[in-house]
Amino acid sequence: MTAVRTIAEDLWFPEGPVAMGDGSVIVVEIRAARLTRVWPDGGRETITEWGDPLGAGPNGAAVGPDGLMYICNNGGFWWHEVAAGMWIPQDPATGSIQPPNYTTGSIDRVDLDSGALTTLYTECDGVGLRGPNDIVFDSAGGFWFTDMGKSRPGVQDHGAVFYALPDGSSITRVRGNFNMANGIGLSPDESTLYVSETGGGRVWAIELAGPGLISESNEFRFIENHPGRCLVNSLGYFDSLAVQADGRPVVAALGDGICIVEPDGSGHRFVPFDDPMVTNIAFGGTDLTTAFVTFSGGGRLVAVDWDAPGLALAFGA
């Protein structure tokens, strides 16, 4: 298995790692509904809290052009301890994830100095956001994000992909439905958008015509009615993703580790980890060859020496 260095333990379902310029890593703790800064020595500090963890769930995170942190708030999950210290977002009686206190998903903004919270979006064209999950900014200053949806007894929402502006003035939905859309990232030249699906275990490449614009060159799938090429179709469950500097998407694969995907669809390989809940990966360090990975169920943030540098994000931290 891949050698890891544990940075912090006992986090409450960490995800959305963002490597900061001061050496810290900011993570969300979904089960605690808080945003936390973790220092290299394992010390931590709370940046902000949303309150009721059954009614809010900070998920993906990204620094915007204004230096503020933008958060996909999934609206909260059910929580179930499946073993000592191992938690999953699920109601054991029904298998659903939507908790009783749920009202809406949203895109939120956090001032990292004061902790002040602002809600930017709760709907698109009159339809409420269900479970925003992951986010990436482009160099023009807008952001793409996924909505995984919510499940209730016998019902699973369709997932979706959106593009929005950070001033709260514009949000649009990509045509079609995704099977629990989760991870999202951009190619180095920002001509391709990558989307991973949890329910389908697939990774899609969607060609772009510009900031927020889907290219007409895309194939539209008949059933899903969404654009793109399928790069990976697995039997597993994909979570969040990042992109290497060489353009390869790297996708957290629950139970399997990290899946490194060829962007032309010619193949993929797995980097195994000895943990069942590998959920997120982000790159940091001076040369972007340190991978920060969340082992969410057991509450760990770890670091790994990666054999290829990650792609620098549009807005550095």
Contacts 24+ apart (CB under 8 A), 103-106: 103/55, 103/75, 104/75, 104/128, 104/129, 104/130, 105/72, 105/73, 105/74, 105/75, 105/129, 105/130, 105/131, 105/132, 105/147, 105/150, 106/73, 106/75, 106/132
Q: Taking all residues of the chain, what is their mean pLDDT, rounded to a whole number?
A: 96
Domain assignment present for 309: no
The CATH number covering residue 189 comes to: 2.120.10.30
**180: left (phi > 0), else alpha (psi -120 to 50), else beta?**
left
Q: Average pLDDT for residues 69-97, to the nearest whole number? A: 95
- Check pLDDT > 90 for residue 1: no
**Inside any domain, residue 249:** no
List all residues 6 or more positions away from 28 whose beta carbon is below 8 Å from its beta carbon: 14, 15, 16, 34, 35, 36, 58, 59, 60, 61, 71
Q: Is residue 14 part of a domain?
A: no
| Model pLDDT, residue 317 | 66
Neighbours of 104 (CB within 10 A): 18
Q: Tell me the residue range of the domain where 200 lies.
A: 28-238
Q: What's this model's pTM, rounded to 2 decimal places?
A: 0.97
**Per-residue pLDDT tens digits for 218-271:** 999 887 789 999 999 998 999 999 999 999 999 999 999 999 999 999 999 999
Number of domains in the chain: 1
Rounded mean pLDDT of 301-313? Answer: 97
Residue 41 in any domain: the answer is yes
Say if 177 falls within a structural domain. yes
Rounded CA separation 272/158 (Å): 30
In a domain, 3, yes or no: no
Is residue 245 situated within a structural domain? Answer: no
Q: What is the pLDDT of residue 316?
A: 79
Residue 165 has pLDDT above 70, yes or no: yes
